[in-house]
Amino acid sequence: MRILQIACGVIFFAVTLYYGYIMFSVANVANTVFGFKNDPLKGQATVLNARHGSGGSLKDGYVALTDFKNLDAGRVVNIVMPVSVKELLKETGAPADMDMIEVFISGQAPRIAEAECKLLVKTIASNCRVKLTKAKQFKDDPKFAEIRMQLEFVEKQVPGTFETEKPLNYQEVDADLVDSAGIYAEAWLNEFKNRRAKLYTTAARACDPLRRQHGNCSVTEINVLGRWEKREEFVVIRSNATLSYLWPERT
């Protein structure tokens, strides 16, 4: 009888351990594959509109706002950068085999993205890292190429305070930083650098009135998107920022 009790206990322990492992694995899959993240406020306040749908994953902007010191929180800059291949080669020199030019351009993309991170740190970020880069040469106009990058950053400006005693409502607003400005592709790497710096500081300043009104605001996404106009060899720039904030729910 004693042996049977011990055997049952071992089986129960094994089943419990296995079930716990399964639940832990499911939670990890949900957090990594599906992008579910833990609430940075950890139940300190009831927050409305912080999730996608009913019971869905937390919105990236909400996590970035409330976990503002974390580089993994999801605060990003997305850039689409049409560039002149000639201008790019001025800075790096031509590859030994020009048939490998597209591979060469792809190899330069991380360096350009790192330089953009440094520009962010000079303006609005306390920390920055390159999340991804991608580059391609335009097949129908090989004198030009497109570099895409996504940067993750932490803001220098502290978002503010959250009144956790009351239910909070999460909100996002879009701020246009520039509308259909245009540059020549040759200008992107150098002359347009100062204008991009102004875009970043403009995004940060756009939070000021929201911070005064609601006590908090954070720039949770910036987009600087260049669209290549082949006939004019011109780049049309559109740029906007997502501003995230919490305000007490009116009762």
pLDDT in tens, 72-110: 999 999 999 888 888 887 777 766 566 677 888 888 899
Are 28 and 87 members of one domain?
no
Enter the pTM of the model.
Answer: 0.80
**How much is the pLDDT for 235?**
76
Are 20 and 133 members of one domain?
no
Are 169 and 222 members of one domain?
yes
pLDDT digits (tens, 9 = 90+) for 100-156: 778 888 888 999 999 999 999 999 999 999 999 999 988 888 888 899 999 999 999
Are 83 and 13 members of one domain?
no
Are 75 and 106 members of one domain?
yes
- Number of compact structural domains in the chain: 2
Strand duo 168-184 + 234-248: pairing = antiparallel
Give SS3 for 161: coil
In a domain, 10, yes or no: yes
Are 90 and 5 members of one domain?
no
In a domain, 41, yes or no: no
pLDDT digits (tens, 9 = 90+) for 26-61: 333 333 333 446 888 887 888 999 999 877 899 999
Domain that holds residue 157: 47-248
Instruction: State what percent of residues in the chain have pLDDT above 70.
Output: 75
Q: Which residues, 6+ apart, have CB-to-CB distance to 77 below 8 Å?
A: 116, 120, 150, 151, 153, 200, 221, 222, 223, 224
Are 81 and 167 members of one domain?
yes
**How much is the pLDDT for 70?**
95
Residue 148 burial by CB count (10 A; 0-12/13-18/19+): exposed, middle or buried? middle
Q: Other CB atoms closer than 10 Å to residue 201's CB: what's the count? A: 13
Are 64 and 151 members of one domain?
yes
